[in-house]
Amino acid sequence: MTCPDLSAPAPSSTPPDARDVLTADEISRALRRIGHEVLERNKGATGLVLLGIPSRGVPLAHRLAAAISAVEGTDVPVGQLDITLHRDDLRRNPVRAAGRTEIPDGGIDDRVVVLVDDVLYSGRTIRAALDALSELGRPRAVRLAVLVDRGHRELPIRADHVGKNLPTSRDERVHVRMAEVDGLDVVRISGGAGR
């Protein structure tokens, strides 16, 4: 089973069986906590670069940078990393519009790059991100921050920083909505047996 594409704009209606698992306030608290964890692990903000994976990883990366700036008093460079051409499902779905990759001034060589995404599921998106990153330079270290880890990994990939671990069945869907993309902040889960 492949991971559903959650990068498309949200449908206008909420599935009837959806339930909220993170509110806007809880998302903000999770990002502040992740910001503190990133700073602690890095021993400050020096040498950090945040790269969001489109589409919802990009606003998450900007919010995480703001949280780090509020604590550290320094701006962390933020960019975005398009993974379209590195996905392993291109043969099945070859018609995809490539997005933009934006690397902050100074690049990524010898920097600590924190990849930021909304949901960690099979691990295939992150594998594609690592492949895309390898074409851009050689970071000193690469770390992963996700808002939600829902399990069901198909590749040996683990997040360094997680907003919420959310055990799910493969039948369930996790819907991350960000105000910058969808007009509201919420994480919902829907589907699954018996729902």
Number of domains in the chain: 1
pTM, two decimals, is 0.88
In a domain, 85, yes or no: yes
Evaluate whether residue 13 is within a structural domain. no
CATH of the domain at 123: 3.40.50.2020
pLDDT at 107: 96
Cα distance between residue 72 and residue 85, in whole Å: 36
Residue 28 lies in a domain: yes
Tell whether 64 is covered by a domain.
Answer: yes
Q: Which residue has the tokens 């919802």?
A: 56
Rg (CA), the chain: 16
Residue 88 token pair: 């392993």
The reply to whether 17 falls in a domain is: no
- Please compute the mean of the pLDDT values over residues 36-55 and round it to a whole number: 97
194 in any annotated domain? no
pLDDT-based confidence at 54, cuts 50/70/90? very high
pLDDT at 87: 81
The answer to whether residue 145 scores a pLDDT higher than 90 is: yes
Its domain, for residue 137, covers 22-168
pLDDT in tens, 114-134: 999 999 999 999 999 999 999
User: 93 pLDDT exceeds 60?
Assistant: yes
Strands 19-22 and 186-191: antiparallel
Instruction: Output the average pLDDT for the chain.
Output: 90
10 assigned to some structural domain? no
Task: Establish if 101 belongs to a structural domain.
Answer: yes
